[in-house]
Amino acid sequence: MRHTISLLVENEFGVLSRISGLFSGRGFNIESLCVAESLDPTVSTMTIVTTGNDAILEQILKQLNKLINVIKVVDFSEIDYVSREMVLVKVNAEEKTRPEILRMVEIFRGKIVDVSSRSYTIMITGDEAKLKAFISLIKPLGIKELVRTGPIAMARGERMLKIKEKTDIKGGESNG
Amino acid sequence: MKRTGAQIFVESLKAEGIDTIFCYPGGATLNITDALTDISEINQVVVRHEQAAVHAADGYARASGKVGVALVTSGPGATNTVTGIATACMDSIPIVIFSCQVNTMLIGNDAFQEADIVGITRPCTKHSYLVRDVKDLAKIIKEAFHIAASGRPGPVLVDIPKDVSSALADFKYPEKALIRSYQPTYVGHPGQIKKAMRLILHSRRPVLYTGGGVILSNASLELTRFAEALSIPVTNTLMGLGGIPGNHPLFLGMLGMHGTYSANMAITESDLIIAMGARFDDRATGKTDEFAPHAKIIHVDIDPTSISKNIKVDIPIVGDTRNVLIQMLKIVENEKETYRQQHRNVAEWIEKITEWKKNYPLTYQKNSTLKPQYVIERVYELTKGKAIITTEVGQNQMWTAQFFKFLKPRTCLTSGGLGTMGYGFPAAIGAQVAFPRSLVVDIAGDGSIQMNIQELATAVQYNLPVKVVILNNGFLGMVRQWQELFYEKRYTWTPLHSPDFVKVAEAYGAVGLRIENEKEVDKVLKEAFKNKRPTFIDVHVNPEECVYPMVPAGASLKEMLLV
């Protein structure tokens, strides 16, 4: 099963390699990983999409928590959340196909962020399903290049990722 | 007054109460080496190979319960520590390794004697630091010792570039390490403990399965009291030996691949396993699907990742083993009447176990050859079980676990998780430094001892009277045993040519003794234990002796090959 996990980590050098090393060393999958500084410059937020059964996910969460630089871990499987990803697509744009591309970009509320004589570079944001739909529709027109960010995620409503709750997760969760 | 990084390092160690380091110098250590000149508060033991520095720090830590410290130079000095660090990491041993590093400006340039040791050791340390600014040095040292010793202990590496050890800064040693992202759980959840106690009360065939966590949290007294209070038989993992006295009537011996018949059968027929500070390692569980098939499982461990990793458990309790045992004992105390009946409930079970112990004791076939098991029995008898024992890895380790009855915690120092040959001798040196007056014996094989034999020089230089009993069978015995049993006796790579260990010892300035038959055993061992010098005892044992019982790899615990 697929899971989206969010982490708060110390914004220090080497933290990313600790996390990626944990996944590779223990044979866990990473489908995507997004990381950047949070509102607090000493903290980075990471969003990881991973796959595995319940036992593997439990280990992933516990092992992440065990890393000294990890402040908080949240698994979105049990939380209502929004998740968004961005994709940049460079497509063939010939005279014939340009109106079709523009229509499609409009329908998907995307943007054309770069134009050349033979190509458009399109930016689309959305959830996975939307990006997938857009990509499959634009594919026949000739995709030259495609780059995705991987999703970032946030809980809906008043729930927030806050610091200092790591012990709660550690003790509470594992104590059932 | 500003101080250099090297001075800050020395002052920090003093403030931390560190009285011993195991070290090896090099270009990058020079600032620190120089700052340690005439610092008599810190005993500085210079080894002959950096791997041994880490094993010695590890042995020091296991024997004393204090944090062990090793200090090495950059590049090869640092990479030589990796096996030692991985050994300590697998067995949760609190040590801090200081590696020196090339100048900050040179890092990443493939400079002379540069190695990315923080990167190399990342998967086998509990945590690691590269000190990039001398202003952070004291704080990092404080954190390193805190992390190494707290929670589930483990090795922490601190990499100090040479320009950092010469740079100037104000020194103030922090009183506390405050790490917002690291707060281990020490006290067990009361609700979970209550649930566990209810299960225990309803069990008829309970077994305590305990590991290194009992030793690390100094819980052996509480464990023994708990087992006695409820008449629960106890089996130990290799790491847990000494957690309950080896001659205690409730003790079943070690479980697992070379565990006793009674321990493995007790696990298999149990209706309740109470795991404490043990992590269900494959050598202990055998085939996991058939581990304790009739039992519910309670698991107490300070590390949540250990819980339900290999075996799904019914009642997890995250906490320090000793704290949890104290919490449990309190419940027993408060409800004395209720718990008293438990003795009757398990009477039949205890009877069954007593029978197993009687009918299938640990044993070996006596014949005209000198048996390694006999040698270990004699070491036990002659030391009255009071020695600190280290082992190497292989048959010597398993026979020691079986035939030496560890009466106290912190007297069995062995590389359990990683299985590091070459561990025992430097670890014995570390233990001897911690306890200069104790008898420290390394039970070795002719293969393992040659992996760190150079440390004879260290033992002689510092007059550390470590005794090394070399069970010399001319083979890499455990691998040979597998070849005998599963590869039709094709002894490829395992026959071993060894030097004359008596002469080697003498060449180093140590004492070398030899035993060739059973009659000489007591006399020579007594002589060795009496002298005050490092001593090798080369014991020529039966070359093709096997360790039994044995559960073949991948089989379930009840499928034991017996003698």
CATH code, domain with A128: 3.30.70.1150
Co-location of A6 and A75 in the same domain = yes
Gyration radius from chain B CA atoms: 24
Cβ atoms within 10 Å of A147's Cβ, excluding its own: 10
Q: Write out chain A in H/E/C secondary structure.
A: CEEEEEEEEECCCCHHHHHHHHHHHCCCCCCEEEEEECCCCCEEEEEEEEECCHHHHHHHHHHHHHCCCEEEEEEHHHCCEEEEEEEEEEEECCCCCHHHHHHHHHHCCCEEEEECCCEEEEEEEECHHHHHHHHHHHHHHCEEEEEECCCEEEECCCCCCCCCCHHHHHHHHHCC
The pLDDT of residue A9 is 96
The pLDDT of residue A142 is 92
The pLDDT of residue A166 is 46
Is residue A63 predicted with pLDDT exceeding 90? yes
Co-location of A132 and A112 in the same domain = yes
The answer to whether B387 touches B441, Cβ cutoff 8 Å, is: yes
Nearest Cα of chain B lies from the Cα of A68 at a distance, in angstroms, of: 6
Give kind and range of the element (H or E) at residue B206. Answer: strand B206-210
Co-location of A66 and A87 in the same domain = no
- Any CB–CB contact under 8 A between B40 and chain A? no
- Any CB–CB contact under 8 A between B267 and chain A? no
The pLDDT of residue A162 is 80
B478 noted as active-site residue? yes
Is residue A175 predicted with pLDDT exceeding 50? no
| Domains detected in chain B | 3-169 (3.40.50.970), 190-359 (3.40.50.1220), 372-540 (3.40.50.970)
- Any CB–CB contact under 8 A between B438 and chain A? no
Considering its fold, how many domains does chain A have in total? Answer: 2
Q: Which two tokens stand for residue B545?
A: 């002796």
Q: Which residues pair with B297 in a beta bridge?
A: B273
Q: Which two tokens stand for residue A18?
A: 């600790």
Determine the Cα angle at B436 with ends B418 and B94, to 5°.
Answer: 35
Co-location of A61 and A72 in the same domain = yes
CATH of the domain at A9: 3.30.70.260
State the first-to-last Cα distance of chain A, in angstroms, to the nearest integer. Answer: 22
Number of inter-chain CB pairs under 8 A, A vs B: 67
Per the model's pLDDT, the better-predicted residue between A13 and B527 turns out to be B527
* Residue in chain A lying closest to B183 (CA): A167
Query: What pTM does this model have?
Result: 0.95
The pLDDT of residue A176 is 33
Which residues in B lie closer than 8 A to residue A55 (C-beta atoms)? Answer: 308, 312
Nearest Cα of chain B lies from the Cα of A36 at a distance, in angstroms, of: 18
* Residue in chain B lying closest to A60 (CA): B305
pLDDT tens digits for chain B (563 residues)? 899 999 999 999 999 999 999 999 999 999 999 999 999 999 999 999 999 999 999 999 999 999 999 999 999 999 999 999 999 999 999 999 999 999 999 999 999 999 999 999 999 999 999 999 999 999 999 999 999 999 999 999 999 999 999 999 999 999 999 999 999 999 999 999 999 999 999 999 999 999 999 999 999 999 999 999 999 999 999 999 999 999 999 999 999 999 999 999 999 999 999 999 999 999 999 999 999 999 999 999 999 999 999 999 999 999 999 999 999 999 999 999 999 999 999 999 999 999 999 999 999 999 999 999 999 999 999 999 999 999 999 999 999 999 999 999 999 999 999 999 999 999 999 999 999 999 999 999 999 999 999 999 999 999 999 999 999 999 999 999 999 999 999 999 999 999 999 999 999 999 999 999 999 999 999 999 999 999 999 999 999 999 999 999 999 999 999 98
Co-location of A111 and A72 in the same domain = no
A14-52 per-position pLDDT tens digit: 999 999 999 999 999 999 999 999 999 999 999 999 999
Q: Which residue is associated with the tokens 């087992």?
A: B227
Quick one: which of B210, B270, B272 has its CA closest to B243? B210
Nearest Cα of chain A lies from the Cα of B368 at a distance, in angstroms, of: 50
Amino acid at B494: T
- Any CB–CB contact under 8 A between B318 and chain A? yes
Co-location of A25 and A58 in the same domain = yes
Co-location of A169 and A140 in the same domain = no
**CB–CB contact B183 A167 (8 Å):** yes
B162 noted as active-site residue? yes
A145-174 per-position pLDDT tens digit: 999 999 999 999 988 888 764 444 433 333
The pLDDT of residue A169 is 40
The pLDDT of residue A164 is 64
**CB–CB contact A170 B119 (8 Å):** no
**Prior bond of B549 cis (ω within 30°):** yes
What DSSP string runs through B254-307? E-STT--HHHHHHHHH-SEEEEES----HHHHSSGGGSSTT-EEEEEES-GGGT
The answer to whether B447 touches B394, Cβ cutoff 8 Å, is: yes
Is residue A55 predicted with pLDDT exceeding 70? yes
Co-location of A96 and A63 in the same domain = no
- State the complex-level ipTM: 0.90
B425 noted as active-site residue? no
Co-location of A67 and A95 in the same domain = no
A123-150 per-position pLDDT tens digit: 999 999 999 999 999 999 999 999 999 9
The pLDDT of residue B471 is 98
Domain assignment of residue A99, given as a range: 82-152
Co-location of A74 and A8 in the same domain = yes
- Residue B41 DSSP class: T
- Residue B165 DSSP class: H
Query: What are the CA-CA distances from residue B35 to residues B42, B54, B273 (Å)?
Result: 12, 21, 53
**CB–CB contact A17 B119 (8 Å):** yes
